Structure 1
Amino acid sequence: MKTSSVDEAHKQFLFEAGADTTPHSGRTLYIHLEGVHRRLHDWGNEESVCVAGLFHSVYGTSAFKQQIIPLELRGRVRALIGEKAEALAYLFCVCERHACLGPLLYGTSKMKNMASGEEIGIDEETLRCMLELEVANFVDHFPGGKIDNPGARAEMLLKTYLMTTERYLSKGAYGAIQSIYANTYPAPAATAG
């Protein structure tokens, strides 16, 4: 079985960009990027999707505004990680968080670029890859396997994932969402009657 170790050139590039010193959710950005990469690998995704996970927020996102790699360096990133991986990472960065749910909920084949307003057409394979990235990113924010202080929005998001994504996600990704939901909202114990 192939290990999920990060390519040394990718790691070095991310360190030079400051991923190992950039704070992110109580740890460094690099630890989060590596965690997303590892999850994608463990769920059986192809290498380009795993590498996209390693670079999924380097250009900044709607939730994580810090851009450690400017968009002007997309060509350099593409040369390093490959066209498909870079295109997925770019799409993840420039679209609204959870934008990949739009095609599932509204039957569209487009995602919207936050900065330019441009609509970006996506095919079913790209949608599948984006959902895997989104779920790996989401799950990695809850290493304990549950949301500690969930609100109504978190429950709605988890239910939306569960109701719309099973056909597109790997078994590992879908199982991770099921597990977080079950751990966050455990069923009440049955009472003897």
Structure 2
Amino acid sequence: MKILLPLLSIIHIGFAIASINTEPDEAINTHGDQQQECSLDEACENGSFEVNITTLTSTISNKATTTAHRHIKSEVPFPVIPPKIIAVLHEDWDVIDPKGKEMIEKISRIDGAVEFAHARTPFFTHLTGTFGTLSAWDQPEEVRRAGLLHTAYSGDLFQFYLFDSNNEEDRDEVKDLLGEQAEALAYLFGTTHRGPLCHFKDVVNNIRPDSVCSTNETHTIEHRGSESGTWDVDRKTAANILIVTIADYLDQMVESNGWKHHQSENGGDSLYPGNGIPEVGFYWLSAVCYGIRDHLDVIPSIFNHCQTVISYDDDKQSRDSYWKVVTEERSLTEKEQITLLNTSAILNPFIGEPNMLLSQIYYRQKNYLHAAKEARAALEKFYTLASCWDKRRSFGQWVAFSRMMLLRSNRMLEGQERSIPVKDPNDLNYVNYNKLVLSDLRDVIQEMKAREAVQ
């Protein structure tokens, strides 16, 4: 059943903001948790917070010890990292695909891939990012491999190519690399006009809110390589082209886009790389995902398994609320920041970054329980999306920082002396290098993994 997230009514948004302003523990959050342990006036504004829980009998020493052999029960447990997310973070491509390392090594030797500035990263990094995202979504081999070279033959918007679609030797090289099915899909991706597929163009341009695939068995689309100028594709192929499109755009979605805005004839109207503000695009990503779900071999878990659609207005307000905190942090009170970030998370419940910022604010307020819950919510969303929304930091960094915040919050909930076994690196007055205690990073990560094991 389709769930459409409409614009919040005045009553709804008024309730949400009133809840956030008066009782942060009763504010609407992604888990639906409601706590009664403090109010904004009593705790948050005064910077004090008491957590009413029983201290765990087994605590961790200030110096982290190797925990691979034991489990640690946490007040707010770590969500388990999906194996394919681990593979993406470690760039362990053979775990994702039996030819993963071989394919990526060959592409990495192409100067045009590695040394070309794409939207926000070099072209090669974008290609592997798209491949990794599709793999984390459990897409079939031909789909994820097509994602690895989705614009190898150029595209309807991207006017550069690594392989000439009119050259049979080039096509044979791509077939040897990806396999015939994946090459055929990459060929269609790069040589056809995707706009008519499931009303893709109209949804992106916000002309219509839904992406409904035709009930016809085939779609006729423009094709620059055929004599007739058109090409017929079946619904499954159309859906596969569009799921690659979703992963493609998700990897590069920033308002200041390198190839689109700055490599045109006249260049962009603002300096690259811009301020990094996320592009408003989840409205059409979610709509297209909903429109193609019945024609995919594997429905990804994003957007509630492609069942939920975000409106353009909600998407934009979510982005703007988040960005106001990012750009005006020093002039906003923490109460105002919490209001804006919760609004962002309510309007777009599929992005983890608002939760990650909330976690930091609650941690500063010594509201460690809420800090841990927000960090966990952020991780769950990052693992599901297999990408980040705020591209100012990499996906791996967002995940790593969220895990650190969850670890620190749990350690403070357990009454430990410090949230992490190191001293303030910015205060050089204390330093005695003969007595400075160092921490093994492997031990820190092992502690996180031990906290994952018990749910």
TM-score clears 0.5: yes
Deviations 1:52-94 (A, max 9, x none): 1001001111221111222210111112211110011111001
Q: CA-to-partner distance for each residue in 1:145-175, whole Å, 9 max, x for gaps? A: x97354xxx5874575266334345233545
**Contact 2:155-2:192 at 8 Å conserved across structures:** yes
Any idea what SS the aligned residue of 1:26 has?
Answer: coil
CA shift for structure 1 position 41: 0.8
1:9: how far off?
2.5
Shift in CA distance, 172/155, structure 1 to aligned 2, threshold 3 Å: closer
- Structure 2 partner of 1:104: 213
d(CA) in 2 for partners of 1:156, 1:115: 32
1:32 aligns with 2:126: yes
Structure 2 gaps, min length 5: 1-82, 95-99, 200-211, 255-275, 322-342, 344-455
Question: 1:25/1:44 Cα in 2 relative to 1: closer, same or farther (>3 Å)?
Answer: same
| Unmatched runs of 5 consecutive residues or more in structure 1 | none
How far did 1:48 drift? Answer: 1.5
Change in Cα spacing, 1:93 to 1:11, as seen in structure 2 (3 Å) is same
- Distance, in Å, in 2 between the alignment partners of 1:62 and 1:106 is 24
Q: Within 2, Cα distance between the matches of 1:66 and 1:111? A: 21
| Structure-2 change in CA distance of 1:159 and 1:38 (3 Å) | closer
**Separation in structure 2 between the aligned mates of residue 24 and residue 166 of structure 1, nearest angstrom:** 29
With normalisation by structure 1, the TM-score equals 0.76
Amino acid of the structure 2 residue aligned with 1:37 = F
Alignment RMSD (CA, Å): 3.5
Q: 2:300 aligns with which of 159, 163, 171?
A: 171
- Residues 137, 300 of structure 2: 8 Å contact kept: yes
Offset, 1:112:
1.6
Secondary structure of the residue that 1:104 maps to in structure 2? coil
Residue identity opposite 1:172 in structure 2 = S
Aligned in 2, Cα 1:41/1:163: closer, same or farther, shift over 3 Å? closer
Counterpart amino acid of residue 91 in structure 1: L
With CA pairs under 8 Å and 6+ residues apart, which has the higher RCO, 1 or 2? 2
Partner residue of 2:15? Answer: none
What CA distance in whole angstroms lies between the structure 1 residues aligned with 2:310 and 2:114?
A: 29
1:86 aligns with 2:183: yes
| Post-superposition offset of 1:125 | 2.1
Q: Which AA in structure 1 matches 2:294?
A: R
Bigger CA radius of gyration? 2
Does the C-alpha gap of structure 1 residues 42 and 184 become closer, same or farther in structure 2, counting only changes over 3 Å?
farther
Is the 8 Å Cα contact of residues 151 and 190 (structure 2) preserved in structure 1? yes
Q: Count matched residues.
A: 185
